[in-house]
């Protein structure tokens, strides 16, 4: 078997040293098996993520149905004993999550009612285990920020660690694929005892959308299989919420400053759509509008946090066009002046206090008005440079602000996705599966378990 395995003292003694498994470079002749598995009957509904507009055509009846199926009442789960109805609803639930188009809508419906920061942390004892294992792996392999996974089979008499594994995007393989294969092999080739536990670590939460079966659904399906076949429990811990497709989520890509402003200024979707038509922006569908509308989605911000390095100066290139056609000598003086004003404007970017976007725009305008240009410049050139500075400032602040909003919306959406998924499946799997975010000791969990 390609994986190297650590055997050490069992659950009670954590003192022996971990020797984590091989790196991606020398692994995996295990490609069969996984692909040949019959696909989940639920997966036929898996739909590729589509662009914003087609994804959001409004269908009142469908949306209502979505909310009804998603919010499976707890009464369906009868004290952990699996009935036929439970199996049916569980498959139905998994099927709804495999249908990305459908589940994206469901998350958007929830996003508008969502409380800030209601992450799903792991329970304390499982979290502690993950921290111990992570400590061992880190000690052996160093810290790693990139996406990777490792896993542990905890037995009474020994602990088996394998990984870290990295995704290989060239062949579409995610790190969780390898974890699943390895775990499956390890369980198959041993006489499994019912008190074993599988711990799966992944930097980002397993994906929920992919051109093939999503890792999160694969893992839940496997956890159910391992439970029913071997009586083994599974814990999945992650550091960041990936949602469907992480930073590549395109749901909010059309949200620019004019959109933000238009959403902010209008009371409801009908009025928004009218205003959008007037300003000639591509209107957001009502479900996205409702998700981004609440005031907390348009937060104050500190410019210092969203403008990094010297790249901001590229927003001010237009200033040069003011004196481009002047004779060489004058042009040189103007260039110096342009550099000087940008140098002085650095002070505007060091503001650490968070402010409203209007305040930030005003600061830039006031700065340009107060700034004393060299008397070597003509009045006309001075006025023109002042005006152009103000325009560039406005474009930069609005552009950066919209980017900040898009990032925040995507982050909220991804968090909400993972959280909703975990809460959904927990209704059926709490006996044998726990999924949650790993929290560090200095950070208090946001939700008590």
Window 376 to 395, contacts with Zn ion (CB under 5 A): none
Which residue, 166 or 316, has its beta carbon nearer to Zn ion?
166
Least CB distance to Zn ion at residue 176 (A): 5
Least CB distance to Zn ion at residue 244 (A): 10
105 binds Zn ion (CB under 5 A): no
215 binds Zn ion (CB under 5 A): yes
Tokens of 21: 């498994």
Among 56, 207, 287, 322, binds Zn ion (CB under 5 A): 207
Q: Quote the strand ranges of 230-360, DSSP E.
A: 233-240
- In sequence order, what DSSP letters do the residues of 351-370 get, joined into one string? --S-B-HHHHHHHHHHHHHH
Contact by Cβ (8 Å): 322, 388? yes
Q: What are the beta bridge partners of residue 240?
A: 204
Which residue, 66 or 219, has its beta carbon nearer to Zn ion?
219
Which residue, 159 or 207, has its beta carbon nearer to Zn ion?
207
Contacts 24+ apart (CB under 8 A), 64-72: 66/96, 66/102, 66/105, 66/106, 66/109, 67/106, 67/109, 69/93, 69/96, 70/96, 70/106, 70/109, 70/420, 70/424, 72/424, 72/427
Convert residues 26-65 into a mask of x (bound to Zn ion by CB under 5 A) and - (unbound). ----------------------------------------
Least CB distance to Zn ion at residue 182 (A): 16
Instruction: Report the number of secondary-structure helices (H) and strands (E) in the chain.
Output: 15, 5
Judged by CB under 5 A, which stretch of 97-105, 113-121, 209-217, 275-283 contacts Zn ion? 209-217
Which residue, 174 or 382, has its beta carbon nearer to Zn ion?
174
d(CA 161, CA 142) in angstroms, rounded, equals 16
Convert residues 186-205 into a mask of x (bound to Zn ion by CB under 5 A) and - (unbound). --------------------
Helix (H, G, I), strand (E, B) or coil at 407: helix
Helix (H, G, I), strand (E, B) or coil at 202: strand
Contact by Cβ (8 Å): 219, 361? no
Tokens of 261: 């402003």
Verify cis geometry, omega within 30 degrees of 0, for the bond prior to 246.
no
Q: What are phi and psi of 236, to 5 degrees?
A: -120, 120
User: End-to-end CA distance of the chain, in Å?
Assistant: 39
CA-derived radius of gyration, the chain: 27
Least CB distance to Zn ion at residue 102 (A): 19
Least CB distance to Zn ion at residue 214 (A): 6
Q: What are the beta bridge partners of residue 435?
A: 236
Least CB distance to Zn ion at residue 206 (A): 5
Least CB distance to Zn ion at residue 209 (A): 9
126 binds Zn ion (CB under 5 A): no
Which residue, 242 or 401, has its beta carbon nearer to Zn ion?
242
174 binds Zn ion (CB under 5 A): yes
236 binds Zn ion (CB under 5 A): no
Judged by CB under 5 A, which stretch of 63-71, 167-175, 316-324, 387-395 contacts Zn ion? 167-175
Judged by CB under 5 A, which stretch of 48-56, 215-223, 289-297, 385-393 contacts Zn ion? 215-223
Which residue, 165 or 373, has its beta carbon nearer to Zn ion?
165
Judged by CB under 5 A, which stretch of 170-178, 248-256, 266-274, 318-326 contacts Zn ion? 170-178
Q: Quote the strand ranges of 130-279, DSSP E.
A: 149-154, 159-165, 197-204, 233-240
Least CB distance to Zn ion at residue 215 (A): 3
Q: What are the residues binding Zn ion (CB under 5 A)?
A: 174, 207, 215
């Amino acid at each position: 078997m390609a994986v190297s395995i650590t055997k050490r003292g069992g659950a009670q003694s954590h003192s022996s040293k971990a020797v984590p498994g091989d790196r991606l470079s020398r692994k995996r002749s295990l490609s069969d098996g996984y692909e040949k598995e019959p696909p989940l009957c639920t997966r036929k509904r898996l739909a590729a993520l589509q662009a914003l507009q087609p994804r959001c055509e409004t269908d009142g009846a469908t949306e209502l149905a979505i909310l009804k199926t998603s919010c499976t009442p707890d009464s369906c789960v009868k004290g952990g004993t699996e009935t036929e109805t439970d199996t049916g609803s569980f498959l139905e639930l998994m099927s709804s999550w495999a249908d990305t188009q459908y589940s994206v809508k469901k998350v958007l419906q929830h996003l508008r009612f969502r409380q800030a920061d209601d992450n799903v942390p792991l329970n304390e004892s499982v979290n502690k285990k993950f921290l111990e294992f992570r400590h061992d792996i880190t000690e052996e392999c160093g810290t790693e920020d990139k996406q990777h996974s490792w896993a542990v089979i905890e037995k009474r008499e020994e602990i088996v660690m394998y990984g870290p594994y990295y995704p290989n995007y060239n062949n579409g393989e995610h790190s969780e694929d390898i974890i699943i294969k390895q775990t499956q092999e390890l369980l198959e080739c041993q006489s499994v005892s019912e008190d074993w536990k599988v711990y799966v670590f992944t930097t980002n939460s397993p994906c929920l959308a992919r051109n093939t079966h999503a890792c999160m659904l694969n893992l839940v399906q496997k956890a159910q299989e391992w439970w029913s076949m071997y009586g083994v429990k599974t814990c999945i811990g992650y550091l960041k919420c990936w949602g469907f497709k992480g930073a590549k989520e395109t749901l909010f890509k059309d949200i620019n400053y004019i959109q933000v402003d238009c959403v902010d200024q209008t009371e409801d979707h009908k009025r928004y759509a009218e205003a959008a038509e007037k300003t000639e922006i591509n209107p957001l569908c009502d479900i996205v509008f409702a998700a981004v509308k609440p005031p907390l989605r348009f937060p104050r911000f500190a410019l210092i946090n969203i403008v990094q390095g010297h790249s901001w100066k590229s927003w001010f290139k237009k200033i040069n066009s003011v004196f481009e056609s002047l004779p060489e000598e004058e042009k040189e003086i103007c260039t110096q002046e342009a550099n000087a004003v940008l140098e002085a404007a650095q002070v505007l970017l060091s503001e650490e206090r968070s402010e409203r976007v209007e305040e930030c725009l005003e600061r830039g305008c006031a700065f340009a008005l107060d700034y004393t240009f060299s008397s070597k410049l003509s009045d006309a050139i001075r006025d023109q440079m002042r005006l152009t500075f103000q325009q560039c400032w406005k474009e930069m602040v609005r552009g950066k602000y919209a980017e900040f909003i898009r990032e925040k919306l995507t982050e909220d959406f991804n968090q909400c996705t993972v959280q909703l998924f975990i809460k959904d499946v927990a209704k059926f799997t709490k006996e044998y599966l726990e999924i949650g975010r790993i929290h560090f000791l200095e950070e208090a969990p946001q939700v008590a378990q």
